[in-house]
Structures are given as structure tokens and as C-alpha cells.
Structure 1
Amino acid sequence: SVAPPVERLGAFVSTELEPGEERRVDFEVDPESMGFYAEGGFRIEPGAFSARVFDQVQEFIFAPL
């Protein structure tokens, strides 16, 4: 297994909020954005990943297709 970068930008959404305003923002992270180039070509390694959105952390798993 090759160690890819620890942190990377997988997706983003821009929205404007007024002070004190709260809003739900939905977006998708394409599994391809979690891949990387290593010896032998482009790879998406299966396993557990963490996603950080500001100060919130969510765990998820990519399974091989």
C-alpha cells in the first residue's frame, strides 16, 4: 500500500450565510477525488476515511468496485 496525502480537498460547496443563520448544505464526494497516482497508475484504495467539514468529522468507507 502506498501512503497518499493525509489531507486533501475532495469536494466543496460555496454558500452565503447571514450572521447567526444556519443552513443545511448537501454535497457529494466523488470516490475518484479520493484516488491518487502511484506506481502502476491511478489507485483508489479501499478502507475507512474521515471527512472534515469545518469542525465536524464524519467517518465513511469506500469499498472496491
Structure 2
Amino acid sequence: MLILLFLAYSVFCYWVIVRDGAEVLVNWEWLPLFDLFAASLTARELKFSVCISWLVSLVFMLYTLFSGDA
């Protein structure tokens, strides 16, 4: 289950970082209601923060898989 969740999150991160997802998210009008921090970011900053969060989730997934807690 953990791997499937990570794969789904990876697809979302791919969309934001590589495709035009960051530009789409920056242009959403309701984003300030969801997260004030993300609403103040530019597309480039949003891509960077998603990349960092993907790396953190990768480390967490690998730790969980190899520690035997899964």
C-alpha cells in the first residue's frame, strides 16, 4: 500500500515539476483558502518545494520499507 501511495504522489510531483502543473496551481484562485504559503509562491518556487517534499517522502518510504515497519 505504501508503494502505491508513493507512486501516486510521484505522478503528481512529475506533473508539477516536469509538466505544466506548477503554472496551473499558481493560477488557481481558491489556493489561498487551501494553503497561504503555497499561494504566495511563484511557479519556480512551487516546483522546488514539491521536489524537496518528494525527496523527503522518498527517504521516508525507503526507511519504512527497509526497517521492517511496513
Question: Could you say which TM-score interval applies, normalised by the shorter chain?
Answer: under 0.3
* Higher normalized helix content (fraction of residues): 2
TM-score, length-scaled by structure 2: 0.26
TM-score, length-scaled by structure 1: 0.27
Structure (1 or 2) with the larger CA radius of gyration = 1
Larger relative contact order, structure 1 or 2 (CA cutoff 8 Å, min sep 6)? 2
* Higher normalized strand content (fraction of residues): 1
